[in-house]
């Protein structure tokens, strides 16, 4: 099976910080707190675009970052939520964790999408902390950092076009200059023994990502291949699902038309339908021919229209690729859409609420450090500024509420010990 794989890093947007602010109005001497909440950070969403065939448009950048939410402001002004970053992928893309250990999503339908990295919550402004007992909080939350992770995208490839031709007509040379495939190329026959697949990134030739396609280079065919001559014709099954064939003819050989017919006869012997597949006929190696010789070849081919290229000298490749891409788009429009498969749920990462553990107890000379981990408590620690006395109080509130206090007490916590959560060192207190 052929796969296109891509590892990328995602950093979702951070939430905006909450504001600390107090109302200031004429004739109102002591206004209440009015600090607004921060905006939500942008998610990174992986979304199907049925027009795409490859992942090549995502290879230019290794790290994708969504925008941050903006900070809250006075007069309870809410910070702006950030825009989500949408990464488009072809149908059939599977999302894995970077180590490929866990599958996160299988995007099989034309409108599937998956939130791959969640943006951070906005921090609450001091206006949100007002209660009957807490009238003038001088404290606001920081915005939560966006999720950060590495993922692996995998796309199972089915070739859109197959390159066919006699041995040494230049099939592997062509695929090597138009795609990312790097097959073996040599001046002897049957250099290619198994098909090679390559992704043609049309943005490299001035096209758009949706023009990109997948090409297969197969072993050479010879007369009598259907009777087992040369490498036979079994490998033609690898291109039986292609939509279009590029028929490459070596321009330096005589009997241009006859050579063309030999290949078509072998195709027919393998599968009548494959022989009926649209073909783009290409005369290769024109760098070795004079203008006069090229004209003669065209004349010999008669009604069979051809492109004239040199794969080696990279002559006329762009025109050929745009023609392939144009024909592919037309052919795809004609093909009925695949029946809808059962919808997959849109998966969202969630935080395992209130679970924590003592990761480690570090024994120092005169005190201990309890290193606490847990998604939710770490999130709270990141969002809380403990230098602010009210922020520190809030941290103690959660330490109590989550049961961390009781747990460290059972481990003989004493005055002078530290509870460490993420990068915050909180003095233990009884």
DSSP label of 74: T
DSSP label of 112: -
Interface with ligand GTP, residue 185, by CB under 6 A = yes
Near ligand GTP by CB under 6 A: residue from 74, 138, 158, 167: 167
Query: Binding segment for ligand GTP among 111-119, 126-134, 184-192, 334-342 (CB under 6 A)?
Result: 184-192
332/160 Cα distance (integer angstroms) = 10
Near ligand GTP by CB under 6 A: residue from 93, 310, 385, 405: 310
Pairing of the two strands 3-11 and 63-65: parallel
126/115 Cα distance (integer angstroms) = 30
Interface with ligand GTP, residue 391, by CB under 6 A = no
Instruction: Tally Cβ neighbours within 10 Å of residue 409.
Output: 12
Rounded least distance, CB 224 to ligand GTP, Å: 15
Rounded least distance, CB 316 to ligand GTP, Å: 10
Query: Binding segment for Mg ion among 29-37, 174-182, 185-193, 258-266 (CB under 5 A)?
Result: 185-193
Site string for ligand GTP, 267-286 (x = CB under 6 A): -----------------xx-
Considering only residues 207-246, where is the footprint of ligand GTP by CB under 6 A? 219-220
Rounded least distance, CB 241 to ligand GTP, Å: 21
175/196 Cα distance (integer angstroms) = 9
Near Mg ion by CB under 5 A: residue from 142, 172, 325, 384: 172
Binds 190: which of Mg ion, ligand GTP, none (CB < 5-8 Å by kind): ligand GTP
Task: Of 146, 118, 141, give the one whose Cα is nearest residue 17.
Answer: 141
Task: Of 164, 161, 280, give the one whose Cα is nearest residue 233.
Answer: 164
Answer positive or negative: Cα dihedral of 406, 411, 415, 416. negative
DSSP alpha helices (H): ranges in 131-276? Answer: 171-178, 256-270, 272-276
Rounded least distance, CB 191 to Mg ion, Å: 5
Considering only residues 186-205, where is the footprint of ligand GTP by CB under 6 A? 186-187, 189-192
Instruction: Tally Cβ neighbours within 10 Å of residue 365.
Output: 4
DSSP label of 73: B
Interface with ligand GTP, residue 3, by CB under 6 A = no
Interface with ligand GTP, residue 287, by CB under 6 A = yes
Near Mg ion by CB under 5 A: residue from 51, 109, 180, 191: 191
Task: Of 281, 173, 161, give the one whose Cα is nearest residue 212.
Answer: 161
Binds 93: which of Mg ion, ligand GTP, none (CB < 5-8 Å by kind): none
CB 78 within 8 A of CB 37: yes
**Contacts with Mg ion, residue ranges (CB under 5 A):** 171-172, 191-192
**Contacts with ligand GTP, residue ranges (CB under 6 A):** 165, 167-173, 185-187, 189-192, 219-220, 284-285, 287-288, 310-312
């Amino acid at each position: 099976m052929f796969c296109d794989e891509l590892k990328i890093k995602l950093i979702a947007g951070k939430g905006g910080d909450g504001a600390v602010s107090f109302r200031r109005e004429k004739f109102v001497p002591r206004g209440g707190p009015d600090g607004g909440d921060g905006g939500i950070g942008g998610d990174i969403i992986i979304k199907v675009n049925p027009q795409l065939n490859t992942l090549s448009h995502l290879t230019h950048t290794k790290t994708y970052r969504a925008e941050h939410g903006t900070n809250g402001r006075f007069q309870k002004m809410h910070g702006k939520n950030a825009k989500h970053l949408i990464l488009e992928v072809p149908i059939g893309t599977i999302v894995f964790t970077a180590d490929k250990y866990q599958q996160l999503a299988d995007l099989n339908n034309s409108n599937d999408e998956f939130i791959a990295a969640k943006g951070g919550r906005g921090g609450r402004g001091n206006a949100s902390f007002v209660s009957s007992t807490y009238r003038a909080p001088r404290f606001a939350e920081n915005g939560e950092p966006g999720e950060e992770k590495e993922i692996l995208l995998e796309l199972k490839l089915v070739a859109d076009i197959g390159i066919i031709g006699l041995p040494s007509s230049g099939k592997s040379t062509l695929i090597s200059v138009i795609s990312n495939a790097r097959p073996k190329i040599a001046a002897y026959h049957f250099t290619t023994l198994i098909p090679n697949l390559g992704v043609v990134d049309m943005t490299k030739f001035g096209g758009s990502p949706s023009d990109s396609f997948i090409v297969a280079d197969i072993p050479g065919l010879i007369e009598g291949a259907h009777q087992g001559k040369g490498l036979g014709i079994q490998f033609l099954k690898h291109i039986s699902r292609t939509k279009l064939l590029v028929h490459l003819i070596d321009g330096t050989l005589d009997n241009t038309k006859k050579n063309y017919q030999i290949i078509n006869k072998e195709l027919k012997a393998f599968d009548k339908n494959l022989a009926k597949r649209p073909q783009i006929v290409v005369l290769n190696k024109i760098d070795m021919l004079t203008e006069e010789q090229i004209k003669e070849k065209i004349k010999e081919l008669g009604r069979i229209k051809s492109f004239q290229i040199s794969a080696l000298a990279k002559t006329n490749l762009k025109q050929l690729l745009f023609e392939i891409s144009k024909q592919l788009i037309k052919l795809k429009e004609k093909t009925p859409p695949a029946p809808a498969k059962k919808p997959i749920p849109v998966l969202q990462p969630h935080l395992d609420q209130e679970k924590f553990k003592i990761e480690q107890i570090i024994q120092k000379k005169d005190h201990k450090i309890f290193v606490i981990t847990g998604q939710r408590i770490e999130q709270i620690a990141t969002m809380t500024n403990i230098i602010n006395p009210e922020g520190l109080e809030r941290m103690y509130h959660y330490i109590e509420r989550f049961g961390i206090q009781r747990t460290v007490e059972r481990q003989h916590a004493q005055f002078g010990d530290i509870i460490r959560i993420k990068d915050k060192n909180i003095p233990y207190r009884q």
